Structure 1
């Protein structure tokens, strides 16, 4: 006897199969290669660092050091690290985490569509559309946005419980609590996703208060939205508080101009209200959910177009990449496509039978497949170098890794025009970079002022000349050059060519590069362990000035035995302090940002 399988289950099975294939392709889970996508070389080095150094707050490998678990939301890295604890290879841990969350996202999305009141079959079609939507596929395959991938299910789960909080009379407090929890998890996974989630909730709120039936309960609605946001921030407060307190280090357009903030909020509110009025008048949605989904979609199309100066239309919008809106546009767009019967297309639409013609799932699947093929074709035609260097780079030459790994002594690497694999070199060679994948975490003023992107791909050669000329200041011992046209930068410099592999030339500094320098000079030994730097030296002077070529950040403390030493930063932004007394000294430098925050807040206790 044949068992009949419903259309809904067939669609879901097809969706999950497609999604699994995409996950396998994106993560390369069955091979030794790096996962696809340019952002992989931002996130993978951090998880590899955790697996090597344990749970630490300070990242020694990039930018002369930075507090990576403060400047970046930590949860995705912690989840990956938790897998590596069970003796799972750290690269495989990363791939497993990405695969699991890629597989979870369509399942959670299906639940969202069902929560909005759609039938199982329509929810299944929406999930299929969502899976093959161009920005959904591009996210892991081209961009490799690991933290976005991990945060996506939390983002959608927050919306599920927000809708339940608004619509379900039973268990409202329970739903509000879960909405807050998942919002907090979104914050802890990817703060930009949490920001976009707040904007989505604001669109929902602004659309909701335009409904006459809800205006009598406006205070209750406001309380629910603010309650979810507030509790979510409380749950994620252990990370959000230091991130906020030290925001001037990584929020590049940080400003105290309240006027710009007021303008952006006003323009955003006006935009949402005007779109809501226009949608009501032109398309006459039959219910509130249909109205909200269409307003949400139009707003995200506008914000994701790249045509608007976001700093004037969104609070702190200058920090937000418009491509993120294209990613989350997949949610309202695909829901709308299975809900076309709830909109009016006017007389012309009725005459042309637009509703009947557009309400055909097979057509939309074909459209999305064509768009994906066209996108891939355009990328390979227009950006072949970007794809080869940043998205799908080959492995670094083994000879290059072996040479740098075999070099004795401390020193940093300066990359110039190298593929993105260069950001994993510290893990492979044990030698840190003076650069990093993106300057969000960079806190050294001179490096941060050079570029808004990476030093590696910086086009202005004056800045590179300055770094080469001041190599001793930044601890640069090796330079890897991937572009022959820039070899002239080393004429009359202290760097000598030591290796040529393929198109890569390695230069080594003839100067004596030191991590720690004392004045008066003396022999110094040091060890880096976890969040600490242990320093030992012997001096015949009553006062010794110690310079550590590690970026200063609030939270660095120095101790000799149990005595605290005052830590400062020098003119270049490095750690420095004075030690008093003749003889042997053993100094322990420790990074503890939470102790700094508590000490400033409760000086009598700490």
Structure 2
């Protein structure tokens, strides 16, 4: 009876701590990261786990780079409870209870006092800070399940199979909850359990369990590792702003929780000297607190080393939620007076509930805007929100508007993240935003800012809603190769010259020195009627035409076509501007500088090569010279065919696009969908190669005059889900059956003993 009452107490605390979240308004405005995680739960509830979703960014590999177990559990519970928010809260309740229960069984198995530490573990405020204040749903679950990992490691010393299977399942559960906590738990677990794990039995069992864990988790970790080049892992020490924001601010140590923590560490240090508590745990508690300071520590150089460079410093503090309760339990094991135990539990209870904030409803202005635009016809457009209420809040909008948004949460793995960031930079600091908005098929832009190029159609509260004409399939007229510059007009940036073959209707702007292979491809392109603009940045040679370096003076500029007096000064910090010019006799000068050609033209076969010296693009952008940019645009405009592309979008679903397309001529088309290597394209049933526009991250392909386009996302790793699922079913069933047999034997034995 006492044991059942104790378990009920643990469950009650777990529920009470997350009742405010369970009863939160729907939809809620969760803090910082919360709504980004909540949308993933919503998506699983409404659409299941598709490998690719349309709702975020320009398409997104769903749950490819964030362990899925928290979301899957919340999705199932949300289905049962009828709400994504309730499923989210119920998952946190469940994992916190399971963690406390695992800690209880670990302590009981190791002969330690089993009741105090689990209570402190549940009441330790940090996991509530992560859950409520930071809103990091999977990380909070991982903190909850940390004791399960410790118990699973302890089971490696067992010879009975059911314990090894339970160990594999426990480790796999934590591994599929949050990967960044794994190395920290492995280090902690090995150090705490060193005497138990260094035996040959434990080592042999560890190999067996590792094999099972690989099988159980391969459905997620294999694609994650294969596709890791798409993930932006931060090197903490190289990004000062991130390093600082991801470090534990020392002001926390001045709060009531921080003061209590420091006081406890001092007491534990004294106890460790007297051998009253485990010294290793005290050292780890102090070390993890120090490592969590990161930017604020006197040894910032430490974070350039492996592991420390990729783990956000404050996440070392997550392990305090496990170690401090263990140390408190060890310290109080000899205390007989219940008042002393209560004296420890009461302040933790108070501090825990101080970390539970009020949860507000979702911003009503954004809900009203959604009500106005969600009936807009068509499936070939997106909304984009730039507000001051937080990106994670905006990432939940597809659940309300029923329309995809260019917003999302966690750019890791977003194939278009570089282009989106450039767009946001332009939006924040000024510039021509329209090319990006149209490339991403953004029909509605919601922001408090003033925007040019789009028409304001609605104003609700402080937000303005702008509308623009967009197309999901866009003809490409300009290809940029070589060095990248952010130019104030639309273009695609490619790294594979094969795409220009058979594309007479595009202009190639090559910045820098082409390789021999590129030179050969460009020569064939020009000969067959294409146009190339070569913009060298140093001396070099292209198709037999040499670029030389000399000082350029505005006084020497001459042209019958362009107004050279409108050029910005060719000087750098009041010094001469040295840049490439051309002296070949086959070049027809369009702008001369002395006896050299600054901008010239050469006819080759059926096409044209333009030469642009003077580091013209760098010069134009440095001086913000719209006239110099207009010269580049004029060269491009000479061959701009203004291809017209009409289309009818027949299907746009997660991982599949179907459209009927008609073009006035064979052309290069950019589709407003993020490129990813598992997309397959078919035109009239024949496979077509898809390329990546490295400027926007979108897909581009060559299209004939008309036909039906089908683009499908074919994830090669999907079968792994079935294989891992079979493993989960078999091992879980075996564990349940064997555990049931054990409890049945105990029950029958107790009855027999009672009759005797």
Fold-level match, TM-score > 0.5?
A: yes
Aligned partner of 1:516 in structure 2 is 473
Q: 1:447 to 1:228 in 2, by over 3 A?
A: farther
User: Map of 1:539-550 to 2, 5 A cutoff?
Assistant: 539=663, 541=665, 543-550=666-673
Aligned partner of 2:560 in structure 1 is none
CA distance in 2, matches of 1:87, 1:159: 31
Q: Give how far 1:552 is off.
A: 0.9
Q: Is 1:411 aligned to residue 377 of structure 2?
A: no
Contact 1:555 1:595 (8 Å CA) reproduced: no
Aligned partner of 1:429 in structure 2 is 401
CA distance in 1, matches of 2:111, 2:301: 33
CA distance in 2, matches of 1:595, 1:336: 44
Q: Give how far 1:61 is off.
A: 1.9
Q: Is 1:503 aligned to residue 462 of structure 2?
A: yes
CA distance in 1, matches of 2:229, 2:376: 37
Equivalent residue for 2:74, pick from 54, 57, 80: 80
Q: Give how far 1:139 is off.
A: 2.9
Q: Give how far 1:555 is off.
A: 0.9
Q: Is 1:242 aligned to residue 233 of structure 2?
A: no
Q: Is 1:283 aligned to residue 283 of structure 2?
A: no
CA distance in 2, matches of 1:182, 1:54: 25
For structure 1, the residue ranges without an aligned partner over 5 or more in a row are: 258-274, 344-354, 381-386, 599-606
User: Map of 1:244-263 to 2, 5 A cutoff?
Assistant: 244-253=225-234
Aligned partner of 2:178 in structure 1 is 190
Aligned partner of 1:271 in structure 2 is none
CA distance in 2, matches of 1:365, 1:422: 39
Contact 2:156 2:197 (8 Å CA) reproduced: no
Contact 2:146 2:322 (8 Å CA) reproduced: no
Equivalent residue for 1:24, pick from 19, 35, 39: 19
User: Map of 1:191-590 to 2, 5 A cutoff?
Assistant: 191-204=179-192, 208=194, 217=199, 224-225=205-206, 228-229=209-210, 231-253=212-234, 283=273, 285=275, 290-306=278-294, 307-308=296-297, 309=300, 312=303, 315-340=306-331, 360-369=340-349, 371-372=351-352, 394-409=363-378, 410-419=381-390, 420-447=392-419, 450=422, 461-462=428-429, 465=431, 467=433, 470-482=436-448, 487=449, 489-490=450-451, 493-509=452-468, 512-518=469-475, 520-526=643-649, 527-539=651-663, 541=665, 543-560=666-683, 562-572=685-695, 573-580=697-704, 582-583=705-706, 585-590=707-712
Contact 1:426 1:433 (8 Å CA) reproduced: yes
SS for the counterpart of 1:339 is helix
Q: Which has the higher helix share?
A: 1
Aligned partner of 1:48 in structure 2 is 42
Equivalent residue for 2:716, pick from 585, 594, 598: 594
Contact 2:441 2:472 (8 Å CA) reproduced: yes
SS for the counterpart of 1:431 is coil
CA distance in 2, matches of 1:459, 1:392: 31
SS for the counterpart of 2:127 is helix
Aligned partner of 2:639 in structure 1 is none
Q: Give how far 1:149 is off.
A: 4.1
SS for the counterpart of 2:115 is helix
CA distance in 1, matches of 2:207, 2:304: 21
Asked which structure has the greater CA Rg, the reply is: 2
SS for the counterpart of 1:318 is coil
Aligned partner of 2:33 in structure 1 is 39
Q: Deviations over 1:266-324 (max 9, x none)?
A: xxxxxxxxx9xx9899626468xx34433443333223334454973763433323333
CA distance in 2, matches of 1:416, 1:179: 46
TM superposition score normalised by structure 1: 0.74
Q: Deviations over 1:15-68 (max 9, x none)?
A: 433332112112326x53427443321111122223333331112222222212
CA distance in 2, matches of 1:114, 1:467: 62
Q: 1:538 to 1:507 in 2, by over 3 A?
A: closer
Aligned partner of 2:116 in structure 1 is 125
CA distance in 2, matches of 1:223, 1:536: 60
Q: Deviations over 1:405-427 (max 9, x none)?
A: 13334233132323443221122
TM superposition score normalised by structure 2: 0.60
Q: Give how far 1:248 is off.
A: 2.5
CA distance in 1, matches of 2:655, 2:20: 36
CA distance in 1, matches of 2:439, 2:345: 57
CA distance in 1, matches of 2:20, 2:269: 39
Q: 1:299 to 1:224 in 2, by over 3 A?
A: farther
Q: 1:371 to 1:157 in 2, by over 3 A?
A: closer
Q: Give how far 1:515 is off.
A: 1.6
CA distance in 1, matches of 2:151, 2:183: 17
Q: 1:52 to 1:459 in 2, by over 3 A?
A: same
Q: Deviations over 1:221-249 (max 9, x none)?
A: 55555654454233211211121122132
CA distance in 2, matches of 1:91, 1:133: 23
For structure 2, the residue ranges without an aligned partner over 5 or more in a row are: 239-264, 477-642, 721-756
- Let me know the Cα RMSD of the aligned residues: 3.9
CA distance in 2, matches of 1:327, 1:101: 15
User: Map of 1:4-153 to 2, 5 A cutoff?
Assistant: 13-28=8-23, 32-34=26-28, 36-83=30-77, 88-119=82-113, 123-152=114-143
Contact 1:62 1:433 (8 Å CA) reproduced: yes
CA distance in 1, matches of 2:353, 2:285: 23
Q: Give how far 1:333 is off.
A: 0.4
Contact 1:129 1:365 (8 Å CA) reproduced: yes
CA distance in 1, matches of 2:213, 2:288: 23
Q: 1:136 to 1:415 in 2, by over 3 A?
A: same
Contact 1:155 1:186 (8 Å CA) reproduced: yes
Contact 1:43 1:146 (8 Å CA) reproduced: yes
Q: Deviations over 1:330-364 (max 9, x none)?
A: 11101110212689xxxxxxxxxxx9999932222
Q: 1:190 to 1:467 in 2, by over 3 A?
A: farther
Of stretches 50-59 and 299-308 in structure 1, the one that deviates more from structure 2 is 299-308
Q: 1:197 to 1:536 in 2, by over 3 A?
A: farther
CA distance in 1, matches of 2:402, 2:663: 30
CA distance in 1, matches of 2:101, 2:189: 21
Q: Give how far 1:92 is off.
A: 4.0
Contact 2:673 2:698 (8 Å CA) reproduced: yes
Contact 1:151 1:193 (8 Å CA) reproduced: yes
SS for the counterpart of 1:498 is strand
CA distance in 1, matches of 2:47, 2:5: 46
CA distance in 1, matches of 2:31, 2:389: 16
